């Protein structure tokens, strides 16, 4: 097991929790630079894409073969999607001036899913050294 990649996964999980726990009134209104583009959805895509990518890389670096299979990647995606749904419920009930948004859950799922082809591209090109 790669301890560095494991620490990265833990940091990602904690970072997503902290960032999604910030009260909604801590954020500025929409910038005029982006017009009506929903920047907060892009943040969700990036957060959950990075989270799932950290899992994929950690699993690739492990010496335990079942974690390198498609089934493990599917479980990562399921975990990230459920984590995103759970965070929306958490925000609704426990974070001041934040609410439950289905579009945030969709952005979380899109980020997690888009990280899979990114992982395969990185794995086959530059990021992960082949044994």
pLDDT tens-place string over residues 41-79: 899 999 999 999 999 999 998 889 999 999 999 999 999
- pTM summary value: 0.86
- 79-112 burial, b for 16+ CB within 10 Å, e for fewer? ebbebbbebbebbeeeeeebeeeeebbebbbbbb
**Residue 60 forms part of a structural domain:** yes
In-domain check, residue 26: no
Measured CA to CA in angstroms, residue 35 lies from 29, 30, 127 at distances of 11, 8, 35
- 29 found inside a domain: no
Residue 21 lies in a domain: no
Residue with tokens 């957060």: 47
Rounded Cα gap, residues 87 and 105, in angstroms: 9
pLDDT of residue 128: 55
In a domain, 83, yes or no: yes
DSSP per residue over 25-65, as a string? GGSPPPPTTSTT--HHHHHHHHHHHHHHHHHHHHHHHSS-G
Whether 28 is in a domain gets the answer no
Domain annotation covers residue 95: yes
Full residue range of the structural domain in which residue 80 is found:
3-14+38-124
Q: At which residue do the structure tokens 């749904």 appear?
A: 85
Q: How many domains does the chain have?
A: 1
Residue 125: per-residue pLDDT: 85
Does 111 fall in a domain?
Answer: yes
Q: Looking at residues 92-102, what average pLDDT do you find?
A: 89
């Amino acid at each position: 097991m790669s301890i560095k990649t494991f620490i990265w996964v833990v940091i990602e999980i904690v970072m997503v929790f902290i960032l999604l726990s910030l009260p909604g009134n801590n954020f500025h209104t929409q910038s005029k630079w982006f017009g009506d583009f929903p920047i907060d959805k892009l943040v969700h895509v990036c957060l959950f894409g990075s989270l799932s990518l950290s899992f994929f890389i950690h699993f690739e670096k492990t010496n335990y073969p079942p974690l390198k299979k498609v089934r493990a990647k599917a479980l990562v995606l399921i975990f990230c999607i459920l984590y995103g749904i759970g965070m929306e419920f958490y925000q609704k009930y426990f974070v001041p001036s934040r609410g439950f948004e289905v579009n945030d859950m969709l952005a979380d799922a899109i980020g997690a899913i888009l990280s899979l082809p990114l992982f395969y591209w990185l794995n086959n090109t530059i990021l992960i050294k082949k044994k």
